[in-house]
Amino acid sequence: MKIVSAAEMRSMDQAAINDYSIPGVVLMENAGLRLAEVIRKGNYGLHIMVVAGSGNNGGDGFVVARHLSQEKNVSVWLTVREEDYSGDALTNLKILKKMGVKINSVYKKEMLADFIAELQKADLVVDALFGTGLCREVSGIYYDIIHSINQSKIPVIAVDIPSGVCADTGQILGIAIKARETVTFALPKLGHFLYPGADQVGVLHVKKISIPAVLEEKGSVQLLTSELISLLVPSRRSDSHKGTFGAVLLVAGSSGMSGAATLAARAALRGGCGLLYAAVPGSIQSVVAAQVAEAITIPLPVNAAGQLDATALTTLLKRSVNCQAVAVGPGLTQEQELLPLIAGLVRECKVPLVLDADALNLLALAPEALQERQAPTIITPHPGEAARLLGSTVAEIQRNRLRSARELAARFGSTVILKGAYSIIAESNGTAAINPTGNNGMATAGSGDVLTGLAASLLAQGVTSAQAAQTAAYLHGLAADLAVKEIGERSLLASDIVRYIPQAYLAVQANKYKV
């Protein structure tokens, strides 16, 4: 399923109207019908308030008011004067008036008291105020309306997107409706999956309103689904052997950070690779070997402090020749003495590479090494690491995560997994995907190491960097989702995510997991 910007959705609407001769009033009617269906299923009670803005979002609200008025006590609140309505919205407003549906106004401050009094009696508010077209800060009477609705604690169903959320960035434009459910049409919008706005959406319903399917394929961002990922998971022949599924070289760990290497190694093995070489400082080899019996451990030279020595580069390059993927970074430390080793691997290793954690922090000091790399590369930064790589701030990265991920991918010629709630996977050609799996239990030490091992494992099995990144991100989050059903989010450990990778694979292969 594609995810679209506000402009892309407007273009699809216009193409449906102009190129396919589907009247706009038909699209509006279908939208209102879908809304009414969701409201009926929600069993919200008899008293429904529809708060309508001046555009098509308000028109959708008029349609749902008409359909529900036959069975519920519906009041409609106009946030502009009646003469400010036009087009299909005006058509539906006129129908409502002829049917005798109660029409009220709340476009002046002095009208707010009556609106608030009505809120006290409502069982549900339908937010048909702004929709996806909003691109300015909410102020004046609109601010007061949204504030009053939120303060009332009355359940809200938002039409298309909660009013006040930017449909393209997920930023809250001063204030935004806190919805229990959101009903959007044709395709989901970017703002449904970009925080902080994503936190306002509640349960998201995507409903078809007869826009031709060929138009819906034009979106530039993909929403990862179980069905899509099931097609990307590498197949396995019955007559295979361990060499068939590739070998991963994992460069990880340091004194006191053997756990990062262990988690990444276990994840790679659970991911399905045939062989795993764990190249770790000699000071922790015995620990890693004891924790991951299936791994082949390679002791690397250490310095006087017991940390990895940069002279290990020669050994690692020789080992990489016989591997199909290399993962570098978990638990290495940010000692600048390691920069020649990391930069050397990036420049000279011809094998597909996954870079994470300390490898990315060190490369932020020498970004030209990554920019010069020619072989396939996946980088998996969290917002802090992304900010260092781009010479930016975490706040700026988070302000527009999609733009940040695309910028990283373009600047470094890499596949990017920008980690966080709804991780974003971006390619250097501008294509992107959003991963809907995962939960806040993943905000725990070691979770990123698991993703690194899983991505490297998939690369070793012969898929492209884009396929490996998308599949790893989805399975990583899905494993965590399955784990929290048993142990809860508060108690989730990175090792639990590893433990549930097999169940995640099974769920995807059966195509039973829905988000």
Is residue 507 within a helix (H) or strand (E), and if so which, with residue range?
helix 501-510
Q: Exposed, middle or buried: residue 403 (CB in 10 Å: 0-12, 13-18, 19+)?
A: middle
Instruction: Identify the helix (H) or strand (E) that includes residue 16.
Output: helix 6-18
**Strands 432-434 and 424-426, sheet pairing:** antiparallel
Closest to 408 (Cα-Cα) out of 435, 366, 436, 371: 371
| Domain spans in the chain, listed from the N-terminal domain onward | 2-217, 226-234+244-510
* Per-residue tokens: 48: 């429904």
pLDDT at 242: 86
The pLDDT score that the predictor gives to residue 501 is 98
pLDDT attached to residue 306 = 76
Provide the pairing of β-strand 2-3 with 221-223.
antiparallel
Per-residue pLDDT of the chain (515 residues; tens, 9 = 90+): 999 999 999 999 999 999 999 999 999 999 999 999 999 999 899 999 999 999 999 999 999 999 999 999 999 999 999 999 999 999 999 999 999 999 999 999 999 999 999 999 999 999 999 999 898 999 999 999 999 999 999 999 999 999 999 999 999 999 999 999 999 999 999 999 999 999 999 999 999 999 999 999 888 899 999 999 999 999 888 988 888 899 999 999 999 999 999 999 999 999 999 999 999 999 999 999 999 999 999 999 998 877 899 999 999 999 999 999 999 999 999 999 999 999 999 999 999 999 999 999 999 999 999 999 999 999 999 999 999 999 999 999 999 999 999 999 999 999 999 999 999 999 999 999 999 999 999 999 999 999 999 999 999 999 999 999 999 999 999 999 999 999 999 999 999 999 999 999 999 988 755 55
The overall pTM is greater than 0.85: yes
Residues in the chain: 515
Task: Kindly state the DSSP code that residue 314 receives in the 8-state scheme.
Answer: H
**pLDDT in the model for residue 476:** 98
> Which residue in 62, 69, 67, 123 sits closest to 92, CA to CA?
62
- Candidates 478, 455, 475; CA nearest to 466 is 455
Q: Which two tokens stand for residue 92?
A: 């539906």
User: Phi/psi class of residue 357: alpha, beta or left (left: φ > 0; alpha: ψ in -120 to 50)?
Assistant: left
- Of the candidates 483, 474, 485, the residue with the CA atom closest to the CA atom of residue 508: 474
User: How many other C-beta atoms can be found within 10 angstroms of the C-beta atom of residue 508?
Assistant: 23
Backbone angles phi, psi at 35, to 5 degrees: -60, -45
CATH assignment, 226-234+244-510? 3.40.1190.20
Alpha helices in 349-493 (DSSP H): 357-363, 367-372, 383-390, 394-399, 401-412, 447-460, 465-487
Burial 113-127 (b: 16+ CB within 10 A, else e): eebbebbeebbbbbb
What's the rounded Cα separation, in Å, for the pair 190 and 465? 23
Q: Which two tokens stand for residue 384?
A: 């802090």
**Which ranges constitute the DSSP H helices of 170-308?**
213-216, 226-232, 258-270, 285-291
Q: For residue 278, give both structure tokens.
A: 């764990």
Distance CA 369, CA 379 (A): 13
Helix axes 87-99, 56-68, angle to 10 degrees: 20
Distance CA 61, CA 103 (A): 12
> CATH for 2-217, among 3.40.50.10260, 1.25.50.10, 3.10.20.30, 3.20.20.70?
3.40.50.10260
Two tokens, residue 505: 């694979």
Q: Which two tokens stand for residue 292?
A: 């991951």
